Amino acid sequence: MNRGLKMRDRKLLGGLVGGGLGSFIGPVHRMAGILDGQADFVAGALSSNPEKSKRSGKKIYFDPARVYSNYRDMAEKEASLPAGKRIDFVSITTPNVYHFDIAKTFLEAGFHVICDKPMTCTLAEARKLRKIVAQTGKVFALTYTYTGYPMVKQARFMVSSGMLGTINKVVVEYPQGWLSRFLEDTAETWRTQVWRLNPELSGAFCTVGDIGTHAENLARYITGFKIKELCADLSSFIPGNVLDEEGSVLLHYIGGAEGLLHISQVSTGEENGLNIKIYGTRMGLYWNQDSANYLAAKMPNGQSVTYSKGAPFLCDESKQASRLPLGHPEGVIEAFANIYREAYKAIRAAMRGESHEGYDFPTVDDGVIGMAFIESVLVSAASQHKWTLMKR
């Protein structure tokens, strides 16, 4: 349909790796990627099982010719199609362990990449990927979901504007409870049900890589703070499990602020309780993803102000990240779509031959810091929780 159209007159074309039938995050990428009518997904290697890939592609109306058996094929064949027909970018939604090679493959085949987090399985891989991104000059976006929320952008603005005064403390919590159903599971059914508990698919970590990195990224996105050193306590309660299920991390930030990061996937009854509190000398800020459309500014002396998504006095970044007026709730898909939207701007800029720097989405650098955080936590936890310098 778009063939022959100038790039500015057509939607972008996207490919998918992973995200076949039964996937949680695959559909989120698909919905977020098309929400604003800026792109369509048209090709994919949707599963490592070619048959499942095929069935998955049919379900979402892909041309069977563009449903591939594996991502290497896909990269090669798509690259051979003419511009305007071939995909412009690929979205990676597989388990962690495949991210690096898929990203490398598509970047080197000339495609822009949008990748789920954590970026890789190791810091070493992350550093390599950073180099590849630099060498290829392609856009690389990482979907740290929560930075896409309008009120998170407002929080970042308020911090950078100095409205909080000097920040002394950051408390970020991310409790979930979904792994607690295995706490009394001696049949070890989790081995097959949850790839994140399988070191071969998840890497040397579970929870700290699944949600700990979200928490670290959110705190850093809002405050800009870099971790100097950390002291971590990781635990596991599921019988037989070798990866982390929950942990607490004390943080010392460069510049003197303190941090506390608490994560869990065995906090029974918690759903997706990411929240952050930032305390400055002049006010405190509180954001909770469960009521993501609000941001609370806690003033000294008994006054608390709640700002609503879409309010006219919010910063531009926040307002632009909202698609609906005041009082009309937006959720995770819309936040995710904000990351896509910014990545699309960068991709279109790159396609026009312009600089694609400066757009508001997580980059490969964020991915490197994310992996440095994960590995530093693992080192501290493994060494009797010694204070450990943050890796770079």
The verdict on 240 binding its own copies (CB under 8 A) reads no
- One of 22, 352, 387, 389 touching its own copies (CB under 8 A): 387
- Of 137 and 325, the one with the shorter C-beta distance to its own copies is 325
Beta bridge partners of 229: 252, 389
Neighbouring residues of 22: CB distance < 8 A, sequence distance ≥ 6: none
Contact letters (x/-) for its own copies, 194-213, by CB under 8 A?
--------------------
Q: What share of the chain is helix, strand, coil (3-state, %, to 5)?
A: 40, 20, 40
Question: Is residue 262 at the binding interface for its own copies, with CB under 8 A as the rule?
Answer: yes
Residue of the chain from 135, 193, 304, 383 that contacts its own copies (CB under 8 A): 304
- The binder of its own copies chosen from 50, 84, 199, 273 (CB under 8 A): 273
* Residue span binding its own copies (CB under 8 A) among the ranges 134-142, 195-203, 220-228, 330-338: 330-338
Dihedral sign computed on CA atoms, order 25, 30, 31, 34: positive
The number of helices, as runs of H, and strands, as runs of E, in the chain is 13, 14
How many amino acids of this chain bind its own copies (CB under 8 A)? 96
**Applying CB under 8 A, which of residues 1, 187, 316, 353 lies at the interface with its own copies?**
1
Q: Closest separation between CB of residue 125 and its own copies, Å?
A: 28
Alpha helices (H) in the chain, listed in sequence order? 25-34, 50-59, 71-80, 96-108, 123-136, 150-160, 190-193, 199-202, 207, 213-223, 316-320, 332-351, 364-382
> According to CB under 8 A, which one of 4, 22, 49, 58 is a site residue for its own copies?
58
10 close to 2: Cβ distance less than 8 angstroms: yes
Scanning residues 139 to 168, which ones bind its own copies (CB under 8 A)?
164-166, 168
β-pairing, 12-18 vs 275-280, is: unpaired
Site string for its own copies, 217-236 (x = CB under 8 A): --------------x-x-x-
What residue type is assigned to position 167 of the chain? I
Does position 186 interact with its own copies (CB under 8 A)? The reply is: no
